[in-house]
Structure formats: structure tokens, C-alpha cells
Amino acid sequence: MVLFYMFKMRSEAMKQMILIATTLFSGLALAEDCAMTIDSTDTMQFSTSEMVVPASCDSYTVTLKHTGTLPRNIMGHNWVLSKTADAQAIAGDGVGAGLNNDYIKPGDGRVIAYTKVIGGGEETSVTFDVNALSADESYQFFCSFPGHIGVMKGALKVQ
């Protein structure tokens, strides 16, 4: 009888541990779905041309890594999010804003989110509010370093 009681206690403790572990790991899985890392290179490329952001996320974090070696003033990259219709104009206005402003015109309301411009070996992140986006809208992410938007761009979808 004592052995049965000890086994039952271990069994209950094991169930509780499994429940706790499942809860913790399911939370981590949800958190991972609300973030993405994108690599950028000295050859003016992002590692992806499409991002799908789950509508269930309250916020979404993009981490940009520059896997090249060139400095930010020569081959810098950033990650900018806007409506597709606004992207080209934002990049054009960003040229005049200069590197000190990360090639983003200060106070530009068309910009949804952006990272600072980084050089080779650096990384940066930005977090934005997913609730401010619409699944019916067309969004584009791009690099606003002068001349980069032509090849460093992609679509962002909310689903």
C-alpha cells in the first residue's frame, strides 16, 4: 500500500511537471511566431523577399543582421516597413535626410517601422504594433540606403 501511495504521488508530480513544461514551451512557440530575423549582405540582398506576420500577434519584432564586412557609410542597410504605395517616395525623401537620420525623413508618417542603418557585422531590431496593420492592405519592406530599394525589398502580409 505504501508503494502504491508513493507511485501515485510521483505520478501526480510528473503530471504537474508535464503540464508546466507544456505551458512554458507553448508560450515560447507563440513568441517565436511573432519575430523574424533577416540577414542582409554586402551584395545588397535580404535573405527573404516575403514575410508573413500572424494577425494573432499583438506586436512583431524584426531583427536585421548585416552579414557583410563593409561599413554602414559604404554598404549600410536598414529595414523599413510602409504601405507598398508609399515605399518609393519614402526612399526618395530619405536620401535628403541622410545617414544620420537612417535615410528616413524625420517625422515621416508614412513609415510604419524602421531600424537604424547598420554596417557589416552589426545587428539591430525594431518592434511594431500588428494591430495597426490590415490584412487587406499591401505592405512593403525595403532598405532605404540610397539606391538599395531597387533590389532590397519584399512583401509583408498579415494573415
- pLDDT of 33 over the 50 cut: yes
Sheet of 123-129, strand order: 35-40, 59-66, 123-129
Class of domain 34-158: mainly beta
The predicted structure's pLDDT at residue 2: 45
More confident residue, 20 or 81: 81
Helix (H) or strand (E) holding 6: helix 2-33
Angle at 50 between CA 44 and CA 53, to 5 degrees: 130
DSSP class of residue 110?
Answer: T
Helix (H, G, I), strand (E, B) or coil at 100: helix
The predicted structure's pLDDT at residue 136: 96
- pLDDT of 23 over the 90 cut: no
Q: Per DSSP, what are the bridge partners of residue 158?
A: 53
The predicted structure's pLDDT at residue 27: 45
Which amino acid is present at 130?
V
Measure the N-to-C terminal CA separation of the chain; round to a whole number of Å. 56
The span from the CA of 105 to the CA of 92, in Å, is 9
155 burial class (0-12, 13-18, 19+ CB within 10 angstroms)?
middle
DSSP class of residue 4?
Answer: H
More confident residue, 10 or 150: 150
pLDDT tens digits for range 102-144: 999 999 999 999 999 999 999 999 999 999 999 999 999 999 9
Ordered by start, the domain boundaries in the chain are: 1-33, 34-158
Q: Are 141 and 81 in contact (CB under 8 A)?
A: yes
